[in-house]
Every structure is written in C-alpha cells, then in structure tokens.
Amino acid sequence: MVKDKNSSLRLFGLLWLAGMAGMMSLVLMPLPLLPEGAPPAAVVRLLVLVQPTVLLSVAVLIGVLLTPRLGLMAPVADALAVGRSWRQAMVPQLLPGVVGGLISGGLLTAITLLSRPLLPPAYGAAEPTPLLVRFLYGGITEEILIRWGLMTLLLWLGWRFGQQRQGKPQTRWVVVAIAVSSLAFAAGHLPAANALGLPLTPPLVGFLLIQNSLFAVVAGYLFWRYGLEAAMIAHLTVHAVLALLG
C-alpha cells in the first residue's frame, strides 16, 4: 500500500493519466446539433471535457488520501508507484474480475432481452457508443470516478462519523457506500441517454437504473474485496460480453 509522499504523488499521476485516457476518448462521441452562433465543434468538445476532468482530479485525490485509512486499494497502480512487480499484483485481480464481468454481462443481457418489448423504439435504433469509449471511459474512468472516488468518500464518511475512526470500516458502512455509489452510477446514465435524444419513459428509466446499479454493486464488491483493478477488469469484461452478444 502506498504511504510516502513521493509514491502517493506517483499513484495520483498514474490513476489520473489512466482516467484521462478515457476522458479523451469522449471526443469520439457524436455532438448534438449545435444551435446557430454556437462555438466551433472543436471548442465545444474541449469545453465538454472540462467538468469531467475536474471531477476526475478530485476523485483521484480523494482515493489517494483516504483509501489507506480504509483498507481499500489499487494493487497494480500501487505496485507501479512503489516500483514493485505490477504483474504479480495483477494476478489476484484477474479471476474475480473476469468472473464478475461474465456473470454481470450475462445478467445484463438477459435483462435487456426481457425489457426490450417495454423500451421505446428509439432505444433500439440509437447509434451504439463507440467501443473505445466503452472500454476506456466506461471500464477505466468510470471506475476511478465512482469506486475510487465516490465509494471511498462515502465509506470514509461512515467510518469517520458512524464509528469515530475506530477500527476497520464496519460491513454496514461498506454496504451503504456500495449501494449509494451504485445508485449514483446508475442515475448518471440518465443525462447521457437524454443527450442522445432518447425519450426518458418510465420503462427506460427503470431499465437503465436497474441494469447499471446491478453491475455497480458487483464492481463495488470487487473493489472492496480485491482492489480497483478487479472492478476495472469486470467492467471491461461486461462491455466485451455486451459487444459480442450485440
């Protein structure tokens, strides 16, 4: 686990750069029709990245500062930051991440098939998000924002005020942190759907909330029990499964 100042700075830099790779992939997303007199598309794309970049920076900082107190970690990034073998740190992350991703991918596919008759036609006709965005932004950046940043902050609040920093975080606070961050993760997909021009009908809202929150619970558990990279691997595996199954 990273403890000294220099390795903490290196950990911040590694996670920030990983998250920014996902941020930069957002330039592949189509822009909505711009009104007359709007700035050029290149300027709009740049402006769209400003707020998420600030949020990413805050999330990375929160995780670097708070995870050592809570027993949470990013084993591979930690290993790189202190000069240990990242391959050795990756091995315990692989199997839980892949299994969690495969189970989640199958479950989400089943939910999609069962929900399809209730969803608006525009959902099926919508242009799919580019694979690179799904892998880089979804699989890496979202995990840093939601698990490393938000879930860590929520767990720290429970540990700090619910048990006055005594001992390890209690399981009940872990459950609360996973549940709240999962709901936030799911709700964050609603504005994105709206930006794509999808009508936010009750069935579509329910579908997006259920589907995304279920996976987020799995990712939150993996982060807690194994590490951030296990959650990332699961997220990447889910997108691979969904892409293969269409």
Half-sphere exposure of 192 (CA within 13 A, CB side): 15
Residues 62 and 153 sit within 8 Å (Cβ to Cβ): yes
Whole-angstrom distance, CA of residue 209 vs CA of residue 199: 15
Share of the chain above pLDDT 90, in %: 76
Q: Assign 29 a pLDDT band (cuts: 50, 70, 90).
A: confident
pLDDT in tens, 123-150: 877 778 899 999 999 999 999 999 999 9
Q: Which two tokens stand for residue 125?
A: 């006709």
| The amino acid at 15 | L
* Residue with token string 């929900």: 115
Looking at residue 100, what is its pLDDT?
97
Looking at residue 41, what is its pLDDT?
62
| pLDDT, average across residues 20-48 | 72
pLDDT in tens, 218-241: 999 999 999 999 999 999 999 999
